[in-house]
Amino acid sequence: MLNLKKNTSFINGQWLMSQTNTYPVFNPANAQEVSQVLKCGAEETEQAIVAADHALATWKTTLAAERSQVLRRWGELMLEYRQQLAEILVEEQGKPLAEALGEVAYAASFFEWFAEEAKRNYGDIIPTFKAQTKIMVTKEPVGVVAAITPWNFPLAMVTRKVAPALAAGCTMILKPSEETPLSAFALAVLAEQAGVPAGVFNIVSGNAIEIGKTLQSSEKVKKISFTGSTATGKLLMRQAADTLKKTSFELGGNAPFIVFEDADLEAAVQGAMASKYRNTGQTCVCVNRFYIHEKVYESFIELLSAEVKKLKVGQGFVDGVTQGPLINQAAITKVQRHIDDALAKGGSIVTGGKPHQLGGLFYEPTIIQHANDQMLVAHEETFGPVAACFSFASDEEAIALANNTQYGLSAYFYTKDLKRTWWVAEQLQVGMVGINEGIISTAVAPFGGVKESGFGREGSKYGLEEYQNIKYILLGGLA
Ligand code: ADP
Per-residue pLDDT of the chain (479 residues), as tens digits, is: 999 999 999 999 999 987 689 999 999 999 999 999 999 999 999 999 999 999 999 999 999 999 999 999 999 999 999 999 999 999 999 999 999 999 999 999 999 999 999 999 999 999 999 999 999 999 999 999 999 999 999 999 999 999 999 999 999 999 999 999 999 999 999 999 999 999 999 999 999 999 999 999 999 999 999 999 999 999 999 999 999 999 999 999 999 999 999 999 999 999 999 999 999 999 999 999 999 999 999 999 999 999 999 999 999 999 999 999 999 999 999 999 999 999 999 999 999 999 999 999 999 999 999 999 999 999 999 999 999 999 999 999 999 999 999 999 999 999 999 999 999 999 999 999 999 999 999 999 999 999 999 999 999 999 999 999 999 999 999 99
- Catalytic annotation on 284? yes
Handedness of CA 425, 427, 428, 431 (dihedral sign): positive
> 57 in the Ramachandran plot: left (φ > 0), alpha (ψ -120 to 50) or beta?
alpha
CA 220 from chain centre, in angstroms, equals 25
pLDDT at 20: 80
Report the candidate in 142, 382, 140, 139 with the shortest Cα–Cα distance to residue 248. Answer: 142
Instruction: Give the mutation target among 92, 93, 174, 177 for probing the ligand 1 site: most ligand atoms within 8 A of CB.
Output: 177
* Sequence-ordered list of residues with C-beta below 8 angstroms from that of 218, at least 6 positions apart, any chain: 49, 243
Residues with CB under 6 A from ligand 1: 148-150, 175, 177-178, 208-209, 212, 228-229, 232, 235
Length of the chain: 479
> 477 in the Ramachandran plot: left (φ > 0), alpha (ψ -120 to 50) or beta?
left
> 335 in the Ramachandran plot: left (φ > 0), alpha (ψ -120 to 50) or beta?
alpha
Please identify, by atom number, the ligand 1 atom nearest to the C-alpha of residue 235: 23
Q: How far is the CA of 232 from the centre of ligand 1 (A)?
A: 6
Contact 356, 362 (CB under 8 A): yes
> Alpha-carbon distance 345 to 339, whole Å?
10
pLDDT at 38: 96
Q: How far is the CA of 14 from the centre of ligand 1 (A)?
A: 25
Q: How far is the CA of 224 from the centre of ligand 1 (A)?
A: 13
Catalytic residue among 40, 170, 284, 389: 284
- Where is 100: in which H helix or E strand? helix 97-118
pTM for the predicted model, two decimal places = 0.98
* Sequence-ordered list of residues with C-beta below 8 angstroms from that of 333, at least 6 positions apart, any chain: none
Bridging pattern class, strands 366-369 and 468-475: unpaired
> Alpha-carbon distance 85 to 162, whole Å?
17
Maximum Cα–Cα distance across the chain: 82
pLDDT at 17: 87
Handedness of CA 326, 327, 331, 332 (dihedral sign): positive
Which amino acid residue places its CA nearest to atom 11 of ligand 1? Answer: 150
* Sequence-ordered list of residues with C-beta below 8 angstroms from that of 216, at least 6 positions apart, any chain: 146, 224, 236, 239, 240, 242, 243, 245
Beta strands in 129-263 (DSSP E): 134-141, 144-148, 171-175, 201-203, 221-227, 246-250, 255-259
Phi, psi dihedrals of residue 167, rounded to the nearest 5°: -60, -40
> What are the helix and strand counts (H, E) for the chain?
15, 20
Contact 360, 29 (CB under 8 A): yes
Contact 223, 215 (CB under 8 A): no
DSSP 37: E
Which amino acid residue places its CA nearest to atom 15 of ligand 1? Answer: 177
> 336 in the Ramachandran plot: left (φ > 0), alpha (ψ -120 to 50) or beta?
alpha
- Catalytic annotation on 44? no
Q: How far is the CA of 12 from the centre of ligand 1 (A)?
A: 24
Q: How far is the CA of 72 from the centre of ligand 1 (A)?
A: 29
Please identify, by atom number, the ligand 1 atom nearest to the C-alpha of residue 229: 6
